[in-house]
Amino acid sequence: MKHIVILISGTGSNMAAIVRAAEQQRWAERLGARVAAVVSNRPGARGLDTAQAAGIATAVVDHKAHASRDTFDAALMQAIDAHQPALVVLAGFMRILTPGFVAHYEGRIVNIHPSLLPAFPGLHTHQRALDEGCKLAGATVHRVTAELDHGEILAQAAVPVLPDDTADTLAARVLTQEHLIYPRAVAELLQKQ
């Protein structure tokens, strides 16, 4: 069985979309894959409750309990590796990972970013798109590399930017697309393994 470990920092809506897709599309039977664990860097992350309710193992590696990014990443790797992951999925995981961490999971780690990469890597993507007068915004599933938001693009979805959009309304429309493309991209990766 191919194990998926999902990393979250908050509500875990993309994690929940992947868990739903895995169940509805029978990934265990069709792809020989299952979501084995959800790990958060924040003890109070609401997504942990969602994962537990779905019967998925959870763990917390609190970044505030570590003196450096290196020690945090080492502890995080230990928590992830306990599940022998075929794929590590970042789903709203709001920590920049060290090059050593990324190298450890090379070819097995993916992320979703709320912009049409290569446009607007980093934070505040929706406001930046509005400030630049973009006609389209969207989301990108990409492989994780040591360079922030610059890995191979695996999937994208675009939404129009409406004249009365705020960063919040645009974010909400983009999120609906994230929930569609992320499970699809994860399933495609699993089929290739």
- Of 113, 126, 142, 179, the active-site residue reads 113
Alpha carbon dihedral 42, 46, 52, 57, in 10-degree steps, equals -20
- The HSE-up count of residue 92 (CA atoms within 13 Å, CB side) is 21
* Strand 57-60 with 85-90, pairing: unpaired
Rg (alpha carbons) of the chain, rounded to whole number? 16
Is residue 150 part of the annotated active site? The answer reads: no
Residue pair 137/172 in contact (Cβ under 8 Å)? The answer is no
Catalytic residue set: 113
